[in-house]
Amino acid sequence: MPPAEGYITTVDGARLFFQRLGDGPKTVIIPNGIYLLPDFQCLADGRTLIFYDLRNRGLSDGVTEPSMLARGIHHDVDDLEAVRQNFGINQVDVIGHSYIGLMVILYAMKYPESVNRVVQIGPMQPNAGKRYPVHLAFADATLTEVFAELGELQKQRESEDRVAFCKKFWAILRIIYVANRVDADKIDWGRCDLPNELNFMKYWQETIYPSIKNLNFTAAEFSKVQPPVLTIHGVKDRSAPYGGGREWALLLPNARLLTVENAGHAPWIEAPDEVLDSIDTFLGGSWPEAAQKVMSLDPLEPLEDRT
């Protein structure tokens, strides 16, 4: 069955494009998740899945009014609440990948009564500027190679058609999102036919990332996130360090970590059964067997040194 689709209007007037799949009694909202729909549609059995594009992303409205941009990622938090209210849902499960894995925690902090369960996949770390030990931040020769290729590609930017440049950019960049480059062809996130996506790097650098850098979480804020949180992180994630996933699971009061060995920033691509079955179990009300409580940021730290 093809997904139903349409637009939701936010409080400040931005329209967000959504796709809805399934008709089960429990609802799962996946922000910025349109590109995830083919892989995550298996979760629709017994549930309703709502995938939507963030403002200035995908098929949602492009925004130029300064007041609709000034709060950066905090606009995305309130937009998620607008989606929930639009569908008249009491409590929702939410799934966030990459920097949206951070955003859904901000949502749970601001709207705790609206959240049932949270899944983070390869989330950006709580402190954007933090550096982790080398065994908690995977930076190998492939990362160096990709950045060098992107640097060479940037020299051609002015002479390239924007869509053609975008496609070349993603053909190179997608390699860093998987541990094994043979899986890179499974990454199809560029959406280079959409003006919002062609402009995303400017939006990210000038609006979203600065708002993330300004975050400074307190213990009181972490304590607000009482719903269960399943953090899923690939050890070989070059984009969001594995140490960040461990830190979320350590600092949140009711969180567990599913560590995916030999997987990168898109662990469901390299370990689909492990990741998607674990999410299904978690959304069903139980912790996956492989999900563990994190007692220390560094798994190599001697037990007697742990607090």
pLDDT at 78: 98
The encoded tokens of residue 217 equal: 């979480």
The helix, strand and coil proportions of the chain, stated in percent and rounded to the nearest 5, come to 45, 15, 40
Q: Give the global pTM.
A: 0.95
Yes or no: say if 42 and 189 are a contact pair by the CB < 8 Å rule: no
pLDDT at 156: 86
pLDDT along the chain (307 residues), means of 10: 88 97 96 94 97 97 95 98 96 98 98 97 97 95 96 87 94 96 94 95 96 97 97 98 98 98 97 98 98 92 48
pLDDT at 1: 59
The C-alpha atoms of residue 121 and residue 99 are separated, in whole angstroms, by 9
pLDDT at 303: 45
Q: Which of 257, 254, 262, 240 shows the shortest CA–CA distance to 294?
A: 257
User: What CATH superfamily classification does 4-296 receive?
Assistant: Alpha/Beta hydrolase fold, catalytic domain (3.40.50.1820)
DSSP one-letter string for 271-284: SHHHHHHHHHHHHT
